[in-house]
């Protein structure tokens, strides 16, 4: 639900009354789903260099280009697309809302991923795709700002997904240590494993508090909200992946079997360190804020 909620927030925040009335009810009720389309084959972390173009022709834009690694691509109903309507750099980017079925909109093959297999990932392709000007969110040139503001909430969402997986992994590890016996006694009697479990629970609580702090700052419109969202996403996704991985280790060979849920948490949340801006980019955002502040 991370990407659909991010998209509906963008439409609700930057769209006009007609756009909100047209898209938000069905997206909020989950009758329809949306995909966030920023990443391209040649521009991942360097999003401002995107090449997908939208040429104005009367009351329409003609869209050409492609997006890569789009969550829900081909299955979702609405596509919030960042495209170039002006010159190079972030000020030349605008945001258009497309609907599945528009002529010229197509999709690549379903990607074979390590995890996150409940949600399809595909390329989204635009070939002379005609989009009404009325489907543009905000003004021309405002798209990059819209995309970045959407990512603030998206980073909270992804961090929250990691918290859920880590919490479940702590519970699984707790249960396994209690019921599994080695050398004639439960693993729970092993002090080393007790310490590791305590560390996992402590890191989980710290990550949860950090995410909630960032969410509160974003909700309150604080000036430091964007950097706090980056910090929370960085810390929570790194720590929670470590928690899940440690839980798998505690299960021994059983943890590597698909019959045991802990392996799925490890596979599913590894990508959280990449989604919504890689954790290397999060570090760059935090460092830039500190050095320019």
- As averages over each run of 10 residues, the pLDDT of the chain (293 residues) reads 81 97 96 96 87 97 97 96 96 97 97 94 98 97 96 96 98 97 94 98 99 98 97 99 98 96 98 96 96 82
The 3-state secondary structure of 84-139 reads ECCCCCHHHEEEEEEECCCCCEEECCCCCCCCCCCCCEEEEEEEEEEEEHHHEECC
pLDDT at residue 4, as a whole number: 72
Same domain flag for 20 and 104:
yes
Same domain flag for 243 and 269:
yes
pLDDT at residue 45, as a whole number: 79
Could you list the residue range(s) of the whole structural domain that residue 59 is in?
2-139
Residue where a domain terminates, one of 82, 114, 139: 139
pLDDT at residue 293, as a whole number: 63
Same domain flag for 49 and 154:
no
Q: Which residues are catalytic?
A: 276
Same domain flag for 110 and 167:
no
Domains of the chain: total: 2
pLDDT at residue 176, as a whole number: 97
Distance CA 35, CA 71 (A): 6
pLDDT at residue 148, as a whole number: 95
Same domain flag for 248 and 186:
yes
The domain that contains 95 carries what CATH number?
A: 2.40.110.10
Residue where a domain terminates, one of 139, 162, 182: 139
Same domain flag for 70 and 186:
no
Same domain flag for 127 and 205:
no
Residue where a domain terminates, one of 139, 161, 192: 139
Same domain flag for 20 and 92:
yes
pLDDT at residue 43, as a whole number: 84
Same domain flag for 159 and 120:
no
Same domain flag for 117 and 37:
yes
pLDDT at residue 1, as a whole number: 58
pLDDT at residue 183, as a whole number: 92
pLDDT at residue 2, as a whole number: 60
The domain that contains 198 carries what CATH number?
A: 1.20.140.10
Same domain flag for 183 and 155:
yes
Same domain flag for 128 and 195:
no
């Amino acid at each position: 639900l991370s990407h659909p909620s991010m998209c509906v927030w963008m439409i609700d925040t930057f769209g006009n009354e007609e756009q909100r009335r047209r898209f938000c009810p069905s997206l909020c009720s989950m009758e329809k789903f949306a995909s966030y389309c920023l990443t391209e084959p040649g521009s991942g972390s360097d999003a401002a260099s995107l090449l997908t173009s939208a040429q104005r022709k009367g009351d329409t834009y003609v869209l050409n280009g492609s997006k890569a690694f789009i969550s829900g691509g081909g299955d979702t109903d609405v596509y919030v697309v960042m495209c170039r309507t002006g010159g190079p750099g972030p000020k030349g980017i605008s945001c258009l809302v497309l609907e599945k079925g528009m002529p010229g909109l197509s999709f690549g093959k379903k990607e074979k991923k390590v995890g996150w297999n409940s949600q399809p990932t595909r390329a989204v392709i635009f070939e002379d795709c005609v989009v009404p000007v009325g489907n543009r969110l905000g003004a021309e040139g405002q798209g990059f700002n819209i995309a970045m503001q959407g990512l603030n909430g998206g980073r909270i969402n992804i961090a929250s997904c990691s918290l859920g997986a880590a919490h479940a992994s702590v519970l699984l590890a707790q249960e396994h240590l209690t019921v599994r016996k080695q050398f004639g006694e439960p693993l729970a009697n092993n002090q080393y494993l007790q310490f590791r479990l305590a560390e996992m629970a402590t890191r989980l609580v710290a990550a949860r508090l950090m995410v909630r702090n960032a969410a509160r700052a974003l909700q309150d419109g604080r000036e430091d909200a964007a950097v706090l969202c980056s910090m929370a996403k960085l810390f929570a996704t790194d720590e929670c992946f470590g928690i899940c991985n440690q839980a798998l280790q505690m299960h021994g060979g059983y943890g590597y079997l698909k019959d045991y849920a802990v392996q799925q948490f490890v596979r599913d949340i590894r990508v959280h360190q990449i989604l919504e801006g890689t954790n290397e980019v999060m570090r760059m955002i935090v460092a830039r804020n500190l050095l320019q502040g």
